């Protein structure tokens, strides 16, 4: 079964080995990756109820494994912070249940 892919258009392109890099493509994690890396976010109890807390270490490992274009090391070293946030959001989107339209 083919894994879903998402393309993130970069707000701040950077130079790659073959010219400007203008987008990053990520693919959904496999079940093996999920079992190896765990949940990227965890619900925790607070005084006011609950809060969703990012597991930054797991998210970084997911991003590194799930970038399929360009080379993950090139992307992670050269992306701007604003683009890294967009890639993070794309990866976290794979872990959210689809919303039903009414």
What pLDDT, in 10s, does the model give residues 74-93?
A: 999 999 999 999 999 999 99
Q: What is the pLDDT of residue 86?
A: 97
Q: How far apart are CA 53 and CA 18, in angstroms?
A: 38
Q: What is the pLDDT of residue 98?
A: 65
Q: What is the pLDDT of residue 16?
A: 87
- The count of other CB atoms within 10 Å of the CB of residue 40 is 22
Q: What is the pLDDT of residue 2?
A: 87
Q: What long-range pairs does 47-56 form, CB within 8 A, spacing at least 24?
A: none
Cα–chain-centroid distance for residue 61? 9
Stretches where the chain sits below pLDDT 50 are none
């Amino acid at each position: 079964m083919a894994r879903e892919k998402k393309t993130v258009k970069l707000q701040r392109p950077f130079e790659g080995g073959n010219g400007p890099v203008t987008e990053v493509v990520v693919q959904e994690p496999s079940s093996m990756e999920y079992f190896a890396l765990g949940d990227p976010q965890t619900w925790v109890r607070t005084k006011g109820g609950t809060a969703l807390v990012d597991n930054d270490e797991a998210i970084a490992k997911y991003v590194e494994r799930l970038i399929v274009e360009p080379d993950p090391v090139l992307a992670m070293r050269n992306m701007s912070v604003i683009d890294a946030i967009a890639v993070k959001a794309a990866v976290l989107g794979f872990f959210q249940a689809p919303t039903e339209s009414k």
